[in-house]
Structure 1
Amino acid sequence: MITYQLNPTLTTADFIDILERSTLGIRRPLQDAVAMEQMFRYGNVYVGAFDGKILVGLARVMTDFVYTSYLSDLAVDVAYQKRGIGKTLIQEVQRATPKAKIILVSAPAAEGYYPKIGMKHHAHCYQLAPGDDLVQNG
């Protein structure tokens, strides 16, 4: 039976481990210990999914609790996917931040998943990568 816990006691190593066991590990700087520590430290809401004592899923959120919750990581161990764990993690984030809308940037392989569970697509997302400059007179 999978159980869910708000803000479980985890370490950066636990965070890296669940990312490695999910499909997110290939898109995160797992080999950069400083970056991973900062990513882990500055999330302010975590929801863990556990099979006994084993972490099998994790939602990492940055939120102001009243307007926006940015779901920056939704990681489910590949061996546990397609069991509703990701959906339940999102529902637990909703419970933890009930006034805030949840926003995420989908991994390419997961783009079809979010509409299936009721999330709405939003076309107005932009990014500015490190080192990118804004255009003058834009």
Structure 2
Amino acid sequence: MPRPLIVYRTGNDLDLNEVTALYEASTLGERRPIQDQTRMQAMLQHANLVITAWAHTQLVGISRAFSDFAFVTYLSDLAVHRDFQKQGIGKELIRQTQLAGGPHAKVVLLAAPAAEQYYPHLGFTHRPQAWMLDGDAALH
């Protein structure tokens, strides 16, 4: 059976139920607050660079990022539906995110443990200097 044509779109005006279903079908839902519709809607609404992949009318991939369009683009979510993985969709979502972020902006991300080996194959460089403070953690 031939693969469906994948169409890429830019913009965050998306149906939250479709986005949540994609997160679940990609395993990203395990690490995102998909049960909290208000929080998920805010995450989607406030991202200023969202690229999606569509097979006909089905949302099959998403890159949700924040960019200043000059220096850095933070790729916060990359999800591809399980049934559509290993077809280059994730790579194309990253490529389009990189292009939209501007010619000099670097792409920064935190990899999920299961995806750590994916990014070096695409040309990403590991930087152990990353630091994270959980949202409910107090500064000392």
TM-score over 0.5 for the pair: yes
Match of 1:70, as an amino acid? Y
% identity of equivalent residues = 41
* Deviation beyond 3 Å, 4+ runs, structure 1: none
Specify the SS of the correspondent of 2:54.
strand
1:64 CA drift (Å): 1.0
- From 125, 134, 138, give the equivalent of 1:129: 134
- From 67, 80, 83, give the equivalent of 1:79: 83
Matches of 1:131 and 1:28, distance apart in 2: 15
Structure 2: 5+ residue stretches without partners:
none
Deviates more, 1:106-115 or 1:27-36: 27-36
1:37 CA drift (Å): 1.1
RMSD, matched Cα: 1.2
1:8 CA drift (Å): 6.1
Specify the SS of the correspondent of 2:24.
helix
Matches of 1:41 and 1:82, distance apart in 2: 28
- 1:39 is matched with 43
Matches of 2:29 and 2:112, distance apart in 1: 11
Normalised TM-score (structure 1) = 0.92
Normalised TM-score (structure 2) = 0.91
- 1:5 is matched with 9
**Deviations 1:18-42 (CA, angstroms, capped at 9, x unpaired):** 1111110111111111111111111
Deviates more, 1:8-17 or 1:84-93: 8-17
- Find out whether 1:22 has 2:12 as its counterpart: no
